Structure 1
Amino acid sequence: MVSTANVRPATVGDAPEIARIQRDTWRTAYADLLGEHGLAELDATDPTLQWTGAIEHPETRVFVAVEGEFTVGFSVSGPAPEADAANAAGELPEDAGHLAMIASVLVEPRWGRRGHGGRLLATAARALAELGAERGIAWVAQADSASLGLYRRAGWKPDGTVRTLDTGERTVREIRVTGPLDLELTE
């Protein structure tokens, strides 16, 4: 029997599973990147409460990827905050009012390579376009080749803007990618 894979809007009832996916995936896929101190931040607050807030926020779009009966990933997106849209000099692009941000696309590694990330990205992009956004941005760790590959396959490219995040133990260099919201993902 073949299981069905799809993407749907998240509900408040999905918040605990989204929190689990984030925690488990970060511990599995990003431990070397973030370090123990960075990972400990996941347990410093109530992630289920934070995800409930994100799901209920009127401008935020949270989607979950499911395969059969399992929730296997999620995405979160919305209008791009000015701080994320600005260039290194703090200047906003001309289209700042129509700019959206994909804050996260995360699929559990054991469910990877099945198209879930692409479906999440395409669904989030479509929802943002329906809200009037014309272009998207995302911040991706430079060392995260899987996520960079996902955006590259969607036609998104680095725009030259970088930032460095301090996890308390190490620093993470992120690059900003940008691209269209009418996605055509390729393998």
Structure 2
Amino acid sequence: MTSPTADVSVRVAWADDAEGIAAVQVRAWRTAYDGLLPADVLASLDPAEIAAAWHASLSTPKDARNRVLVALERNTIRGFALTSPASDPDTDPIDDGEVSDLTVDPAQTGQGHGSRLMQACADTLRADRFTRGLLWIAATDDALRRFATGAGWAPDGAHRELDLHGDGAVTVKQVRLHTDLSE
């Protein structure tokens, strides 16, 4: 007798997925940025407010190539990713696509959701005719860096510092990875 396998998949997100995406995002941010961002910033993350923003974004994307993908286990969202044309000034928005977020619920890591999302991102960027994929990650996120490099992504030397509030009080240093999407 074989044991049953989980019903897992990745698909394009719907507006009705907003609440599930927001819940994963809040849990992931509170874990990933613990010690990097002030505790009050993390505590103030409001899942309902974030879900409303996701719902609006999913209902009316600004570009047909802006996509949100969700990793599912049965009908429960376990992670999400965003793909779009690259927006950095040193990139070509025709040839360069970006994975602007790749998030897996911290309680669900190591179960293949990230790998499925990463592959779906590459496939989606290719389908949108991008030839190079870009991914910004926190400079201190060694686990995500190992995961991405294991999937064929490599640093390209670019780095930036995000100012989350616009006043310099909360910043996150990031490095950029890239991969060749041409077939």
Could you tell me the TM-score, scaled by structure 2's length?
A: 0.84
Residue 147 (1) aligns with residue 153 (2): no
Distance 1:182 1:4 in 2: 31
Aligned with residue 82 of structure 2, among 53, 76, 81:
76
Where does the alignment leave 5 or more consecutive residues of structure 2 unmatched?
none
Q: Deviations over 1:40-83 (max 9, x none)?
A: 563399211221233231331111111234211111111111xx
Deviation track 1:126-185 (CA, whole Å, cap 9, x = no partner) reads: 1111111110111100111121122101211111111112346443210011112369xx
For 1:1-187, list aligned pairs within 5 A.
1-39=4-42, 42-43=45-46, 46-56=49-59, 57=61, 58-81=64-87, 84=88, 86=89, 92-93=90-91, 95-167=92-164, 169-181=169-181
Q: What RMSD in Å do the two structures reach over aligned CA positions?
A: 2.2
Task: Report SS of the residue matched to 1:32.
Answer: coil
TM-score (norm 1): 0.83
Residue number in structure 2 paired with 1:89: none
Find the aligned partners of 1:37 and 1:134 in 2 and give their Cα distance: 41
Amino acid aligned to 1:73: G
Alpha-carbon distance in 2 for matches of 1:52, 1:182:
33
Per the alignment, in what secondary structure is the counterpart of residue 33 of structure 1?
coil
- Percent pairwise identity: 34
Q: Distance in 2 between matches of 1:7 and 1:129?
A: 16
| Dislocated runs of 4+, deviation >6 Å | none
- Partners of 1:76 and 1:118 lie apart in 2 by 14
Write the letter of the residue equivalent to 2:78.
Answer: V
Deviation at 1:2, TM superposition (A): 2.7
How many pairs does the alignment contain? 174
Match of 1:105, SS state, is strand
Please say if residues 38 and 167 of structure 1, whose CA atoms lie closer than 8 Å, have aligned partners that are also in contact. no
Q: 103-112 or 34-43: which moved more?
A: 34-43
Contact 1:137–1:179 at 8 Å: present in 2 too?
yes
